[in-house]
């Protein structure tokens, strides 16, 4: 199983991160399956200290060209206690969804899972060039399953200290999570202060 990872591999890489990103932005691997067409979203730099390992862009992100440029992004920024400017500064925070393009909607509502072709094609190549990472936020079930194996998101979030240093599991910041938070007071009382502390440590 492919896993997210912090890497200290400094072996010679034939292609710069910037050149790789340009290649990725021209990717059409999944084009036949994408209802809005391919538009890979990736926000990375070699200087980034924090990686948001997310799931896949939604329609607003697809249209704007900016990941988390929607209410879920505002919730995530609030959790992290970062301004919009800080959040989109790739020298500090990188955003790398498992599926880089909007995957479409499920018949019963909600977005489809990230396309399975995307991460094997590009993810390791990108991560190998991001040697300044100190913290990876595992946002949502797909990201957590890929890194930690299958398991309950709520329990992983509650026991986030088991995955430090290096990883911090979080729920997906959708409107549904706002409902869940009301039933899980420990999230705001325990998890959010610790998350903000880890973020400041990573950025220091």
Q: Is residue 37 part of a domain?
A: yes
Number of domains comprising the chain: 1
* pLDDT at res. 13: 57
Determine which helix (DSSP H) or strand (DSSP E) holds 169, and give its type and residue range: strand 167-170
Residue 201: pLDDT over 60? yes
For 125-140, the pLDDT digits (tens) are 999 999 999 999 999 9
Q: Is residue 4 part of a domain?
A: no
CATH number at residue 124: 3.40.470.10
CA 109 to chain centre: 22
Q: How far, in Å, CA of 204 to CA of 196, rounded?
A: 12
Q: Is residue 21 part of a domain?
A: no
* pLDDT at res. 12: 47
Which domain covers residue 92, as residue numbers?
A: 30-102+111-203
Q: Is residue 24 part of a domain?
A: no
Q: How far, in Å, CA of 42 to CA of 24, rounded?
A: 8
């Amino acid at each position: 199983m492919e896993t997210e990872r912090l890497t200290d591999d400094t072996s010679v890489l034939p292609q710069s991160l910037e050149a790789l990103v340009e290649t990725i932005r021209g990717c059409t691997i999944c084009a036949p399956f994408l209802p809005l067409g391919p538009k890979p979203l990736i926000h990375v730099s070699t200087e980034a200290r924090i990686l948001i390992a997310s799931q896949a862009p939604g329609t607003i992100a697809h249209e704007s060209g900016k990941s988390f440029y929607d209410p879920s992004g505002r919730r995530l920024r609030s959790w992290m206690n970062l301004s919009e400017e800080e959040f989109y500064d790739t020298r500090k925070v990188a955003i790398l969804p498992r599926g880089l393009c909007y995957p479409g909607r499920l018949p019963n509502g909600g977005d489809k899972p990230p396309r399975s072709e995307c991460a094997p094609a590009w993810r390791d190549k990108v991560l190998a060039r991001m040697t300044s990472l100190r913290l990876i936020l595992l946002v949502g079930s797909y990201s957590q399953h890929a890194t930690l194996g299958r398991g309950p998101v709520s329990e992983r979030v509650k026991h986030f200290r088991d995955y430090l240093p290096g990883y911090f599991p979080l729920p997906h910041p959708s409107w549904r999570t706002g409902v869940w938070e009301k039933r899980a007071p420990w999230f705001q009382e325990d998890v959010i202060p610790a998350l903000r502390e880890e973020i400041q440590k990573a950025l220091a």
